[in-house]
Structure 1
Amino acid sequence: MHYFLLLAVMLHALNLVAGDGITPTAPGPGDKFNAGSPCTIQWEVGENWSNFTISLLSGSNTQMRFVTTVASGLDGSDTSLSPFNWTCPEVDPYSAIYFYQFTNGNDTTNSKWTTRFTIASPSGESSSPENSTQPNGDAIPWGIGSLSNLSAATTTIATSSTISTSSATSGSPSSSSRMRKTRISVTSTERLATPTIVIPSGTTTTDAAATGTTFAAYRPNAQNENGARWNQEFCLWKMVVVLALGFIASS
């Protein structure tokens, strides 16, 4: 009997190590959204992500720049939240240089990213990224973007029964996505090592934590692929452990 108890404890510990975080799936390369229009974000659910934040970023892989907070306090196990729609803000420049970062609570070491996508003008116009290669030479176009009106940053507002995310930029319409009640905590995002995140001085957020933080030199969305591969290997090893303990229990 004690063998089965040991097995249950080990499997629970392994599941905690695995993390079971969400996996961003959209937007992807080539996706384009006009400012002032609905922008769609999608992810695969993760049971252990109960309070995550989505942030809009730009910049290189070694120096990501915070643009605005999309939403926070989201429950990663709630399948009804994906796809998630919000109103893309007016930005400068309109280009394929933007991407989303997902962070669960303060666990910045396990943040996830989408690939870069285009935010175009309300009429659909956009320019090519300013840089064709990353600082390390990788052929990944990038550029630095910001809200076109820094005094009107996107914020996330909590009420007693809903979460609303709204975008209010000069000359652009506002819209909201409503969902089930959860806690709200706006935080900025950070990663390992020395690369820094730069937050425009005029950006308004609802948490002082959204200031000077650091990111690892990492291509957006690359960690998601590595995480999926690691989860497959983890499941294989978990099966081996189960079989081994079952053999011990029966002998």
Structure 2
Amino acid sequence: MNDLPDPAALGRLAAHAVVAEAKGFDHVDTWVFDLDNTLYPASAGLFSLIDAKMTAFIAGRYGIDGLSARALQKYYYRTYGTTLRGLMTEDALDPHAFLAFVHDIDHSLLTPAPDLAAAIARLPGRRFVLTNGSRRHAENVAGKLGLLELFDDVFDIAASSFVPKPDQSAYQTFLDLHGVEPRRAAMFEDLSKNLVAPHALGMRTVLVTPKPGEPDLGERLTAADDDRGGPHVDHVTDDLTGFLSALALVAAD
């Protein structure tokens, strides 16, 4: 049996390491991850199930057809940052009922990610999930991926008093709660707009995108959602596992 590492894989890891070192992650001791379409790829299709449940919730609440419900859902998303925030603002919705409904999904689309788990485990310092979803959903997803025990805590939408990303106060509440120094923290996200506030606060930012050719079944609706440039994005990667593995190598030097 040939136990030699794949040269192509080693080349990718080396390239990640060069970028990681150049971007200055050596000071980072707190690692913060978005959940959906970040810790698992958008191509897994899990968020599509959540998205469909949001449409169904709105259709049932207002007694409207699916097309009208989806248009209203996306209006709320564009205007308020999340569909939930729109429903709470314009219709005084109980957020707990909404979250319980939309996250009642089949998680069998996800499979354990041992390589990602190993990469996260090697990161020095604390690790958190920061999500616009519920704690229960985050724990279900991270558990299915084999990652849950690697995180110090999950900061969910309830912990931010239902103020969602990209509002800067959501991040500030997280930082204050866990005593995180933003200039010693890094944020990983699949939506560019959700990296504006972390960058302004001093966090290192990484945009996680689909691999070339993969279907993008995430939340991107506008150019702003998928802006891969700009000063608020320190790095873009379509290989979270490889990028984190490189960060661990750099940290170990």
Same fold flag (TM > 0.5):
no
More strand by share: 1
Report which of the two structures shows the higher radius of gyration computed on alpha carbons. 1
More helix by share: 2
Q: TM-score range by the shorter chain?
A: under 0.3
Query: TM-score scaled by structure 1?
Result: 0.27
Q: TM-score, normalised by structure 2?
A: 0.27
